[in-house]
Amino acid sequence: MTGPRRTEEGSIHVRVHLSRARALLLALLVAVATPAAAQSPLPDLSLEDLMKLDSGQVFGASERLQPALEAPSSVSFVTAAEIEKYGFRTLADILRSVRGMYVTDDRNFSLIGIRGFAKPGDYNSRILLLVNGHRVNDNVFGQAEIGAEFGLDPATFERVEIIRGPASSLYGDSAFFAVVNVITRTGSSIAGGSVTVETGTLGTQLLRGSAGQHYANGFDFAVSGTYEDSGGVQRLYFPEYDAPLTNNGIAEDLDGEGSKQVYGRLSFGPLTVTGAYGTRRREVPTASFGTRFNAHDPAEETTDRHTLLDGDYGRSFKGTRVNLRASYDRFTYDGIYPFAATEVRPEVVGHDSVLGARWSAEGGISRVLPGRQNLRAGFQFIDNIDQDQKGVYSYQPEPVMDIERSSTQRALYAQDEIKLADWMIVNAGLRYDRYGSFSRVSPRAAVIFLLSSAQSVKYLYGSAFRAPNQYELNTFYFGERVNELRPEAIDTHELVWERYINDWLRTSASGYWYKADRLITSVADPSTQLQSTFVNQGQVRAKGLELEAQMRLPGDSRALVSYTWQNAVDQETNTDLPNSPRHILQGQFSVPGPLRRSTISVDGWYLSPRLTENGGSVSAATTVNLTVLQPIGHAWQLFGSVNNVFDHEYSDPASSAVYLQTSIPQNGRTARIGLRWQLWSR
């Protein structure tokens, strides 16, 4: 086990490791370029095997199931089988494997990067995160939490759909760059009961129990609970704090993380009820927000809790599919911030807490209309009952900040898809969103040419918005000026070419161009509590190209490679955005192992150098992970995983508003092993 360190010869290490990573990617490449032996044609498969094939359907692009080739978006999937094979432990791990996406980790929260945009210090509020089609971005920060703080264990995911491009025409706020829809497992998918234990480096321990069953009368249930704890890297070195008063820059035993998650889903007939609760506590070793470095008792620490209760009723009445949904979401956040004494006050511990709770009601209809049309229309009503932010300092009992807010939002939307000919689909959607102080209309349009049943070319246009969130509207932190904030806007054009050449090869190429305006940007303002405020001033123009090839080779082998080129420029300064790599390479490769029924899976990614906020840069980052699965008999499965196999050292750019550090070092090689005991199946 090694933690991140900075050494003088770091750059040399990097070079050696990079060449190894390149060798690996080259191996993947050979696999791509080698024509696979012909597989048996579909009619020779058994019916059971036919039912196992994935014909590439997506739900979240139009709120109904449709072939990905016909969807008005460029779509990727990650399935439960892939989550297991590649040993993905968080949604962040999953998204790192997805074409064009990257994740920045500040050793507290994980920030999604997509289409060249990943502003350090942001709260993932430009990605919409759905669980079974239901919004889970909280209503204070608007953030999509993707690390362990997400509150759902990836072992409970059936499938993750990544729908690129703006989708405010269906979903409203936050569907700015992409929508990530997590579809959770049903009883028929779990089909049995199992217990899993894992242990690993960094003092990692995990215990999980899952059970699920589908009964002949249609009743279906799934339950799962997970406990995970990790001590983290024992000694983390931050050169920015290298002084005798701050422990020579070493944060000792301050990198721990613990989470607990429970999940349940019941369905019977037309009704499905999903419930989930997850909590994560994270020690913060980086002394963010100017807290005292290497503070203990108390240490800087954050705790996030998510509760979800969602009832979905859907059935068909004479060819019209009707669904109604009622949900309750609750998000709480607690942050403990120990500050050093200053000339005007003694040592103090700040305790920030946030409560975001909402009820939502939504409904919609889907209907096939004459003239080969597919109509979807719906409404949404959200009652944000709590959007509260509170701050208490240890030297006085009364809170220094106590903001209690609530608000409502309502929306109407419609989308129609017309198959004008066998080879041409036109798709148009529009949504009207009404907030207390503003309203928005978001359109989307697509023209899809089906060159054959296995090939399509799409032109996509979409517009989306992101409303200022309650954190940005916090007048205590940022002054009265934030009351003038308006929603951000984006316009995107995209050209996509997707091709299922046959089962062994699927390819896609996509080029996009977007203009994001009135971006809510942090600027210095000495008159406010946090010395900064937010204004609508950023304008970003970006373009990019994404190429992907996915292969299924004989003997259950799979490979996927993708390359992304992107260029996102801040129009005011005419400079590239920070934390926006020009090139991204991603690869995954899974083959049967030497022993019976085993699989060996390798995944890796490469990010070219990224600018930091102070105009410097961090060197290229690369990681290769290895996971082995070995079933033993019918009831047991052994699992082993090594992350960052080559112990490559790299750092992610950090926000200058939050950190003294310009970048945060990431973990070196880590490993874990686990054992799953299948107590019963079916």
Interatomic CA distance for residues 354 and 670, integer angstroms? 33
Under a CB-based contact definition with an 8 Å cutoff, are residues 388 and 405 in contact? yes
In whole angstroms, the minimum distance from the beta carbon of 509 to other proteins comes to: 6
**Cβ nearer to other proteins, comparing 332 with 550:** 550
Under a CB-based contact definition with an 8 Å cutoff, are residues 576 and 542 in contact? no
SS3 call for 431: strand
Interatomic CA distance for residues 122 and 278, integer angstroms? 22
In whole angstroms, the minimum distance from the beta carbon of 220 to other proteins comes to: 12
Other Cβ atoms closer than 10 A to 558? 19
**Which one, of 176, 53, 69, 78, lies nearest residue 118 by Cα?**
176
**Cβ nearer to other proteins, comparing 430 with 547:** 547
**Which one, of 488, 510, 490, 512, lies nearest residue 499 by Cα?**
510
**Cβ nearer to other proteins, comparing 97 with 470:** 97
In whole angstroms, the minimum distance from the beta carbon of 87 to other proteins comes to: 21
Interatomic CA distance for residues 652 and 320, integer angstroms? 49
Helices (DSSP H) in 412-528: which residue ranges?
Answer: 475-478
**Cβ nearer to other proteins, comparing 371 with 615:** 371
Q: Which residues contact 256 (CB under 8 A, 6 or more apart)?
A: 203, 229, 230, 231, 232, 282, 283
Which DSSP helix (H) or strand (E) runs through 23?
helix 10-33
**Cβ nearer to other proteins, comparing 159 with 676:** 159
**Cβ nearer to other proteins, comparing 132 with 288:** 132
Interatomic CA distance for residues 445 and 427, integer angstroms? 6
Interatomic CA distance for residues 642 and 628, integer angstroms? 9
**CA–CA–CA angle 574, 468, 165 (5° rounding):** 65
Kind of pairing between the strands at 127-131 and 178-184: parallel
Under a CB-based contact definition with an 8 Å cutoff, are residues 216 and 244 in contact? no
Interatomic CA distance for residues 340 and 495, integer angstroms? 53
Tokens of 323: 């669904």
In whole angstroms, the minimum distance from the beta carbon of 20 to other proteins comes to: 15
In whole angstroms, the minimum distance from the beta carbon of 58 to other proteins comes to: 8
In whole angstroms, the minimum distance from the beta carbon of 338 to other proteins comes to: 47
In whole angstroms, the minimum distance from the beta carbon of 414 to other proteins comes to: 18
**Cβ nearer to other proteins, comparing 220 with 576:** 220
Interatomic CA distance for residues 618 and 51, integer angstroms? 47
- Tell me the one-letter amino acid at 122: D
**Cβ nearer to other proteins, comparing 112 with 560:** 560
**Cβ nearer to other proteins, comparing 461 with 497:** 497
Residues at the site binding other proteins, with contacts judged by CB under 8 A = 25-26, 29, 32-33, 35-36, 38-43, 45, 47-48, 50-57, 65, 67, 69, 77, 79, 158-159, 183, 316, 318-319, 321, 368-370, 372, 419, 422, 450, 453-454, 497, 499-505, 507, 509, 547-549, 561-563, 585
In whole angstroms, the minimum distance from the beta carbon of 77 to other proteins comes to: 7
In whole angstroms, the minimum distance from the beta carbon of 564 to other proteins comes to: 11
SS3 call for 214: strand
The CA-atom distances, in angstroms, between 272 and each of 174, 242, 266, 327 are 26, 55, 6, 12
Other Cβ atoms closer than 10 A to 332? 19
In whole angstroms, the minimum distance from the beta carbon of 198 to other proteins comes to: 26
**Cβ nearer to other proteins, comparing 307 with 507:** 507
**Cβ nearer to other proteins, comparing 100 with 285:** 100
SS3 call for 176: coil
In whole angstroms, the minimum distance from the beta carbon of 183 to other proteins comes to: 7
